[in-house]
Structure 1
Amino acid sequence: MNDTRREVVRALADGPVGGPELADRIGVSRAAVWKHVEALREAGFDVESDGGYRLAGVPEYGGAAVEYGLDAPYEVEYHDAVDSTNDRARELADEGADGVVVLADEQTHSKGRLDREWTSPSGGVWASVVVRPALSPAGVPVVTLAAAVATTRALREAGVDAGIKWPNDVLARDDGRKLAGILTEMEGEADRVNWVVVGVGVNVNVDAADLPATATSVRERVGDVERRAFVQRLLEAFHDLLGDSDAVLDAWREAALTLGERVRVETPGGELVGEAVDVEPPGTLVVATDDGERRVHAGDCEHLRPE
């Protein structure tokens, strides 16, 4: 949604407002006002025109719907179905995009970390955000942690008791089944990041039968929720956290399921077993082993049963 159309939507929300008045207010022709109104109607907005234009309803989901009332500076590109929101976001990043969200109702060829298959049926929230943070490549893990915290906050607001398994899985606290996953990709140079794509997949209004046995959904836990509001809360929390790495780490610790647990971490250098005791900048897991504390920058973490 461009800036002019945003102004039109805001004016309609305060309506009714006549076409000539609206044209004068935003500095466009009456014909342009009509075109903007028709475009909004095609996008699903209910615009009444009795005695002036007035916004009577907002579409349930979609790019324009999420942008309307979003308190974060993102543009949203929406697809009913797409192979992968991360793939599309990388294309946009290569074209110079910044602050763009690729949102889809369904992904048809999505993958998670380590090229694992990720089920993305209709009804979930499948989104990838293109950002250009002032970070070195070594600092990018904090972006992943911020996305995990933002997702957890959105789930909790929806009524689901969720927590984070290091580094990027969001699980139900009671049984550890997976609610959401995060896949972060980047392009950069030795000292700076060119762009980061953060893909977030959340099982929102999805039947449990359409998910692996190790996963669960918001629908299964508390019933269906308004996806538009869910995405807005997630994006707003993510944007707020991006500018404060200390706040990200504190919030991640508060939401962590991993800290205090006995874990096995598969790292590029081999297997590590011990108790997860902390997370350090920019997202390093500290594990207390029989041979002392070890710091893990990347790996596949598994929670173990107490000995």
Structure 2
Amino acid sequence: MNETRRALLAELMSGPVAGPELAERLEVSRAAIWKQVEALRDEGFGVESTDDGYVVATVPEFGAAAVEYGLGAPYTVEYHDTVGSTNDRGRELATAGERDVVVLADEQTGSRGRLRRAWSAPSGGVWLSVVFQPDCPPAHAPIYTLAAAVATARAAREAGVDASIKWPNDVIVSAANDGSSDPSDGVLVDADAPRGGRKLAGILTEMQGEADRVSWLLVGVGVNANVDADALPPGATSVRAEAGDVERRLFVQRLLEEFHDLRDAPEAVLDAWREHADTLGRRVRIETATETIEGEAVDVAFPGALVVRTDDGTRTVHAGDCEHLRPA
């Protein structure tokens, strides 16, 4: 969306505004205002001409302009109906010097998760990547993965899903949240549900930096939003399956607003993560690059390490694959 159109939408948010007044405020011609109004209509906005001026009556369901309209965070949105990977596109924009931009797609055809694992990203989901430059050294970058997990969990909860966070980068609906339990308790569990819950969303963070500063950070978030359960791999779930369809425009806005607030207050991220964590208090098995660590997850430490109490003492784990285990 060009700057004039973006400024026009911002003016129309407060209510009807006459064409001559819009032209004066934006310092453009009345013909330019008319042209941008027509462009908004072509993008799906219901812009009506009333006696009091132009007014936005309806907003499109999804897309760049739809998300930017009313967004309470300073991001520019680039939208694609289909893209290979929002992270790949985000990396291109980051390398070109773009910052505070969100790449958003309805569908991804070449998405991936941690360790380059395949990730199903069909139409109807929320697939996005945020490109920005935090004022921190590279060692602190993991805090933004935690921030994105909190923002995603909060948006999912507002949509009616009892979402929680599995360390290090998954948002899940756990067995504890959906009322199921171990068969020994007399209640059947979903045999296909993985230990650690059904995966609702995943986060993949990439970075480029120097020794003392981050040049750019890319946080990719993939949410199974309005996706049928049979379109997902085993062990996954969606907002649709848990709570019905969500208005994706509003979901993305809430996610981005929450993330931006946490991005500006990294000192608050750990407490927010603890509040939404499913991993803390559980027995876990973590596979790192060099060893297997098993014990009780007792805390999270800056900038995102998991603190595990083992038989041999307390360990602080900075990276690894985490599995939730049944109580001993």
Report the TM range for the smaller structure's normalisation: over 0.9
**Mapping 1:195-210, distance limit 5 Å:** 195-210=216-231
Note closer, same or farther for the CA distance 1:47–1:251 as it changes in structure 2 (3 Å cut). Answer: same
Q: What's the CA shift for 1:302?
A: 0.6
Q: How far apart in 2 are the matches of 1:15 and 1:295? A: 53
2:83–2:105 CA contact under 8 A, matched in 1: yes
Cα 1:275–1:34 shift into 2, 3 Å? same
Aligned pair in 2 of structure 1 residues 272, 63: CA closer, same or farther (>3 Å)?
Answer: same
Residue 163 (structure 1) aligns with: 164
Give how far 1:13 is off.
Answer: 4.0
Alignment of 1:110-149 (within 5 A): 110-149=111-150
| CA distance, structure 2, for counterparts of residue 77 and residue 268 of structure 1 | 36
Alignment-derived partner of residue 304 in structure 2: 283
Structure-2 separation of matches of 1:18 and 1:246: 45
> What amino acid maps onto 2:102 in structure 1?
V
1:230 aligns with 2:264: no
The equivalent residue for 1:31 is: 31
Structure 2 gap segments, 5+ residues each: 179-196
CA displacement 1:105-130 (0-9 Å, x = unmatched): 00001000011100000000000000
1:57-136, aligned counterparts within 5 Å? 57-136=58-137
Task: State TM-score, norm by structure 1.
Answer: 0.97
Please report how far the alpha carbon of residue 15 of structure 1 lies from its aligned counterpart in structure 2 after TM superposition. Answer: 4.8
For residues 15 and 248 of structure 1, the distance between their equivalents in structure 2, rounded to whole angstroms, comes to: 36
Partner of 2:241: 220
TM-score, structure 2 length as denominator? Answer: 0.91
1:207-263 deviations in whole A, cap 9, x for unaligned? 000001200001011110100000000000000001222210001011111111111
Partners of 1:161 and 1:125 in 2: CA distance: 18
Q: CA deviation at 1:50?
A: 4.8
**Equivalent position of 1:274 in the other structure:** 295
What is the match of residue 281 of structure 2? 260
Which residue in the other structure is 2:43 paired with? 43
* Separation in 1, partners of 2:285, 2:15: 59
SS in 1 for 2:9: helix
Indicate the percent of aligned positions where both proteins have the same amino acid: 70
**Cα displacement string for residues 55-90 of structure 1 (whole angstroms, at most 9, x for unaligned residues):** 221111101000000000000000000000000000
Distance 1:223 1:288, change over 3 A: same
Please tell me the root mean square deviation across aligned C-alpha atoms, in Å: 1.3
Count residues in correspondence.
307
Q: In structure 2, what is the Cα distance between the partners aligned to 1:279 and 1:17? A: 50
Equivalent position of 2:207 in the other structure: 186
Shift of 1:190: 1.3
Per-residue deviation, 1:49:
2.7
CA contact 2:167–2:322 (8 Å) conserved in 1: yes
CA separation in 1, counterparts of 2:5 and 2:41? 12
Give, in whole Å, the separation in 2 of the partners of 1:306 and 1:266.
18
Tell me the secondary structure at the aligned position of residue 37 of structure 2: helix
Tell me whether 1:249 sits opposite 2:250 in the alignment. Answer: no
Which consecutive unaligned segments of at least 5 residues does structure 1 have? none
Secondary structure, counterpart of 1:49 in structure 2:
strand
* Contact preservation (8 Å) 2:13, 2:70: no
SS of the residue 1:44 aligns to: coil
